[in-house]
Structure 1
Amino acid sequence: MRSAVAAIALTTIGLTTASAETRITYKSAKTGSSYYQMGVELAEAMKSGTDGDIIVTIEESQGSVQNVMEARARGGDYVFTTPPALVGLAQEGKAMFEGKGDPKFSEIRALFPIPSLTMHFVMSQESGVTDITGLAGKTILLGKGSFGATEGEKYLGLFGMADSVQIADVELSNAVAALKNGQIDGFVTAGSWPAPNVIEAAASTPVTVFSLTPEQIAETKRTALTIPAGTYAGQEADIETTSLPVVAYTTTAMDDETAYQLTKTFWESKAKLAENSPWWNGVDQNLMPTIETTIHPGAQRYYAEAGITLTDAQK
């Protein structure tokens, strides 16, 4: 009898433990990318910060549009990342979401910002280029198919450089080697800062990561961002550039307590995250205005407790 009671008690404890654990699927980017690695780091932070109450499973993604599209069919355990602008387009049925609208898109809710996609114009010091107008006659690597490549091409057109720059037919993964051996004068890349390929380039050969002027930044219609001096080897001054904010989202299907715990644990773990991966230093309260849509009520509860003011559009 005693053993039977003990067995029942153990079973009850097991059920209680199991029911206390919340499982989340986090969908961000392709395996091997910096954003996939961020997801891995977030998963570890959530497990540690909640004493195992929240377990995050990372799921590979083919991109932000796919992440948003899947919000239509996923449940309350789904967290995904995307630029805020895409959420707005999905909710309005515009651009890549034209003809693919769904009422579920209106249920998307923000949690917290993550490192922004940040534009880097990396030039060899030997090229002598210190601003975008100096690119005339130079060979530049843009890469193919990425946000950085598309944005870089857009900027060359905006600032009258499109016809005077030679675009190198080299993969972005070979940018550092091509810069070092003089095959190219520079490359354009977008990612969280500090960007691993820019760190590698600056460590292997003297480079200049040039700034855009305030007027040029305004013309791009992107979000201004400052990369602090000393981020890269040889960088003595701040770099003024553009960025595309990225935010972690879920939907109204997620319960308030889970959204609260996810948001609270993220912000309370951020300093520790940054100790291991400096790109988390790029996230602070100054990124909150980049969230242009409604924040989940559970996350709003955390922001109220933390004294972080939200806009009317975020509430």
Structure 2
Amino acid sequence: MKLSKVLLSAAIGLSVSQLGFAQTQITYKSAKTSSSYYQMAVEIAQAVKKDTNSELILTVEESQGSVQNVMESAFRGANYVFTTPPALVGLAQSGKAMFKGRNNPKFDEIRALFPIPSLTMHFVVSDKSGIESFEQMEGKDILLGKGSFGANEGAKYIEMFGLEGKINLSKVELSNAVSALKNGQIDGFVTAGSFPAPNVIEAAAGTGVKVLSLSDEQIAQTKRTKLVIPAGTYTGQQQDITTTSLPVVAYTSSAMDEATAYALTKAFWGQKQAMSDTSPWWKGVSTDMLSNINGKVHPGAAKYYREMGVTLSAEQQ
């Protein structure tokens, strides 16, 4: 009976891979299910499945944040992929800040695969507010929210640029920012996420808004990465927006075999255009963003980048 099954499989031309025995399961640790980054993870999982003909299957796991993702890298298996800003990897490997006293030699084995959309700062103000620059937010009602990267970063900029105590900070929840802006309860709000950001799209479509640009001097002062949101990204946006961003990268560890890392990286870039056609936030991702990776790139991913003609730095190899 067993022999007849083997002969039947051979007769109809089925490979071991087609029978499903070569399927590789990968855990992709992302973000909270309510975030755009979780949706991105689902899109990546679907794209990789399609590109590899189901030979790589990504199971998306919810996360409470990037610190958790990095911490779990020390205890998860070889096929663990997670997202985090490169800066956090550096802090983990040096045992600083939130990783102080939580050192683990496994952190040194973290390896980068590919960039995903950056956390992009948006300072959104209504046309009715008359605000044309960051300085003109003085005396206005601005919603920061609380607890998020955008809220913390926005508060830092307000202090840094001499506006602390000069802005009326609204108590409205960020989830109500768009309706509050439309109703005139606030003059603007601060949010961070991939661009185009869904709440900024909604605000721009429903009422006249402006997303403020920061000067090169202000960006240098923040010590964040400069990012340009192209004209036409949002309704009524006629000029490029210059703002700051926090790069985000998909990582694994050196325990992942080279073939899997290669196939995963190849599938991501192979499907990026198709993902961009469905979700515009992928349009801003390019191989130029590999320069934001301060640590090492996985050898399997590096192999694919060499084939693409992309040059990695000495520190990344």
Shorter-chain TM-score range = over 0.9
Equivalent position of 1:27 in the other structure? 29
Q: What's the offset of the Cα at 1:286?
A: 1.7
Distance 1:308 1:123, change over 3 A: same
Aligned length: 313
TM-score calculated relative to the size of structure 2: 0.96
> What is the distance in 1 between the residues matched to 2:148 and 2:75?
27
Letter of the 1:186 counterpart: G
Corresponding residue SS for 2:119: strand
CA RMSD, 1 decimal = 1.3
- Matched-pair identity in %: 62
Match of 1:60 in 2: 62
Q: Aligned to 1:175, which of 171, 177, 181? A: 177
Please tell me whether residue 211 in structure 1 is matched to residue 209 in structure 2.
Answer: no
1:6 matched to 2:8? no
Equivalent AA in structure 2 for residue 133 of structure 1 = E
Amino acid in structure 1 at the alignment position of 2:271: S
Q: Distance in 1 between matches of 2:290 and 2:72?
A: 24
**Alpha-carbon contact 2:20-2:55 (below 8 Å) kept:** no
2:3 is aligned with what amino acid? V
| Aligned pairs for 1:123-202 within 5 A | 123-202=125-204
CA contact (8 A) 2:213 2:242 kept: yes
Which residue identity does 2:4 align to in structure 1? A
User: How far is 1:244 from its partner?
Assistant: 0.1
| Contact 2:140–2:168 (Cα < 8 Å) also in 1 | yes
Q: What's the offset of the Cα at 1:10? A: 6.3
Query: Alpha-carbon deviation of 1:135?
Result: 0.6
Give 2:221's aligned amino acid. Answer: E
Looking at structure 2, the residues matched to 28 and 218 of structure 1 have their Cα atoms a distance apart, in angstroms, of 29
Query: Structure 2 matches for 1:206-285, cutoff 5 A?
Result: 206-285=208-287
Query: Which AA in structure 1 matches 2:126?
Result: S
1:193 and 1:268 map into 2 onto residues whose CA distance is 21
- Structure 1 residues 18, 215: closer, same or farther in 2, change over 3 A? same
Tell me how far 1:5 sits from its aligned partner: 2.1
**5+ unaligned residues in a row in structure 2: which ranges?**
none
C-alpha distance in structure 2 between counterparts of 1:131 and 1:9, whole Å: 74
Q: Is 1:119 aligned with 2:121?
A: yes
Aligned-partner Cα distance in 2 for 1:235–1:9: 64
What residue in structure 2 maps to residue 108 of structure 1?
Answer: 110
Q: Quote the offset at 1:6 in angstroms.
A: 1.7
Cα distance in 1, alignment partners of residues 217 and 166 from structure 2: 21
3-state secondary structure, aligned to 2:294: coil
How far apart are 1:9 and its partner, in Å? 4.8
Query: Which residue number in structure 1 is paired with residue 293 of structure 2?
Result: 291
Question: Deviation of residue 300 (structure 1)?
Answer: 0.5
The 1-side partners of 2:236 and 2:2 are apart by: 70
**Which TM-score applies when normalising by structure 1?**
0.97
Distance verdict in 2 for CA 1:153–1:10, change over 3 Å = farther
Q: 1:268 Cα deviation (Å)?
A: 1.2
Which letter does structure 1 place at the counterpart of 2:294?
Answer: E
Distance across 2 between alignment mates of 1:33 and 1:9: 49
What residue in structure 2 maps to residue 40 of structure 1? 42
Tell me the amino acid that sits aligned with residue 26 of structure 1: Y
**In structure 1, distance between residues paired with 2:7 and 2:133:** 70
Query: Which amino acid letter does the alignment assign opposite residue 38 of structure 1?
Result: M
Structure 1 segments unaligned to the other structure (5+ residues): none
SS of aligned partner of 1:20: coil
